Amino acid sequence: MEFQMLSRPRVALAVACMALLPTSHRLTAWPPAIALDPIKAPATSPSAQAPSTTSEGYGNTLTGDWFGWRNKLADHGVSLAGEAINDGSWNLLGGKSTRKFISRARMTLGLILNTRQFSGWPGGQLHASIRFHFGPNGNDQQLGSIQGFSFIDDAPPATQLYEFYYRQRFFDGQWSVRVGTMDANNIFDIPVDASDFANPSATDAPLYLQNAPPFTAPGLVVTWHAARRTTLIAGAFYNDRFHPTALAAMLNTLEPVNQPVGTFFTAELDQAYGLGSRMPGVVGIGGFWRTGKLPTLDGGFQSGAGGGYLFVDQTLWQSRHTIPRLAIFGNVTGNHPQVSEIDYSIQSGLLDIGPIPGREDDKIGLGLDWAHISTLSQTPKPYELATECFYELACGHGIVLQPDIQYFINTGGGVYADGLIALIRVSVNF
């Protein structure tokens, strides 16, 4: 048997992972086969390292190419896919309730219709998806964290028309426009290498968590690739759960929530760069503003609120091929302290893709999420700190197994004891 040494960056990551694991007391939304082409990723950004999608790209799915019919549909502009994610979690220490196992799941079924192949109209895509949520909110019952520890916990059990929009490209793809029902979290504030972490803090601005997910909203998004490495995105989303469209009313079982009606404006500027031929990076800066009569943490109301964020996603080391790769990311977010329980936060993480020779699809992740709590919340402690470590095991045929452990300091701002959550995630692309 041939023995291969790990590179120094790999050794450093392994040591850091073991050091952050407690010794006492603490995914992308679409299958790779029809992954949404990045709306904001310049060619030199880390997301451009992902394998390209073709009509032959269904080998890594549970159901394959359907005896050739899936490829035939894709060649005529119709791409179908689905994803199911199940999270089982145990609260091993602290938090709200220990020694309690909770399981919940999310399934998404989607379609992309490319108008060039389907009708001869160039540059157009119709996106449609429906989503199902099953099971209780693990954070509410187990931990009580302000940040949460699983993005599946964002929604109650329900059936939901998730996204339904049309996208049109202009001028050789330099401009694009999306109109329809969308989730802003799938477009803005996305350090690409943070998407595999179970904790949602690194990819969702806290104000988004408060006002947008899991409820998508009608909106308009315009993207401009100003230069080969520069991209500007702007969007407006109308939040009104009390007056859904006829299509949403027919498909949704989500109950209206007591949230203010208003418009959510957001914009982001991304700049890709390279520290070397195999060390691409991207930095993004964005801001957002929510109109409407918003409730404040002290029991009052105010007209509108906003915030901003800055993220960096940088490849530290990469082999001569696309993978293996070692990357680091960081994200800083600020919110209005009168309406958001988390007024500013910092997230960072390391991701090692292909950490073991012969296991190029596996991943190791180490994350740190620090959230400062608004003084209006009057929590015993002014912050909450979460650490996360996971190993993502690619089992083939679209099945991924991800053991994950997270340790929380000052859980819920010190309302609960420091918590240790063990999570096992099973993802299936079909």
Contact 367, 334 (CB under 8 A): no
Tokens for 201, please give them. Answer: 């803090």
Contact 258, 224 (CB under 8 A): no
pLDDT at site 33? 34
**Residue (of 106, 280, 287) closest to 188 by Cα position:** 287
The band of 19, judged by pLDDT with boundaries at 50, 70 and 90, is: very low
Q: 79-123, pLDDT tens digit by residue?
A: 998 999 999 999 999 999 887 799 999 999 999 999 988 888 898
Contact 146, 380 (CB under 8 A): no
Task: Indicate whether 2 pLDDT > 60.
Answer: no
Report the C-alpha gap between 209 and 339 in whole angstroms.
12
- 3 state DSSP class of 349: strand
Total residues belonging to the chain: 430
**Residue (of 343, 338, 355, 274) closest to 12 by Cα position:** 355
Contact 214, 160 (CB under 8 A): yes
List Cα–Cα distances, 222 to 98, 115, 179, 181, 184, in angstroms: 46, 19, 9, 14, 12
pLDDT at site 202? 73
Q: What are 67-76's contacts with CB under 8 Å, separation 24+?
A: 74/34, 75/117, 76/117, 76/118
**Residue (of 283, 281, 278, 394) closest to 325 by Cα position:** 278
Report the C-alpha gap between 20 and 251 in whole angstroms.
44
Q: Please tell me the chain's helix, strand, coil percentages from 3-state DSSP, rounded to the nearest 5.
A: 15, 45, 40
Q: 211-251, pLDDT tens digit by residue?
A: 444 468 889 999 999 888 999 999 999 877 777 777 777 77
151-165 mean pLDDT: 86
Separation of first and last alpha carbons in the chain = 35
373-380 mean pLDDT: 93
* 268: β partners: 233, 286
Task: Indicate whether 23 pLDDT > 70.
Answer: no
Contact 216, 182 (CB under 8 A): yes
**Residue (of 111, 87, 80) closest to 27 by Cα position:** 87
The band of 205, judged by pLDDT with boundaries at 50, 70 and 90, is: low
Tokens for 214, please give them. Answer: 């899991």
Give the class (CATH, top level) of 27-429.
mainly beta
**Full DSSP string of 81-92:** EEEEEEEEEEEE
Report the C-alpha gap between 316 and 223 in whole angstroms.
28
Report the C-alpha gap between 13 and 391 in whole angstroms.
12
pLDDT at site 9? 47
Which residue type does 277 have?
S
Q: 314-349, pLDDT tens digit by residue?
A: 999 888 766 788 999 999 999 888 888 898 999 999
Q: Rounded to 5 degrees, what are φ and ψ at 421?
A: -115, 130
Report the C-alpha gap between 111 and 109 in whole angstroms.
7
Report the C-alpha gap between 388 and 251 in whole angstroms.
36
pTM assigned to the model: 0.83
Report the C-alpha gap between 70 and 59 in whole angstroms.
11
If one counts every other C-beta atom within 10 angstroms of the C-beta of residue 298, the result is 10
pLDDT at site 126? 95
Tokens for 227, please give them. Answer: 């230069």
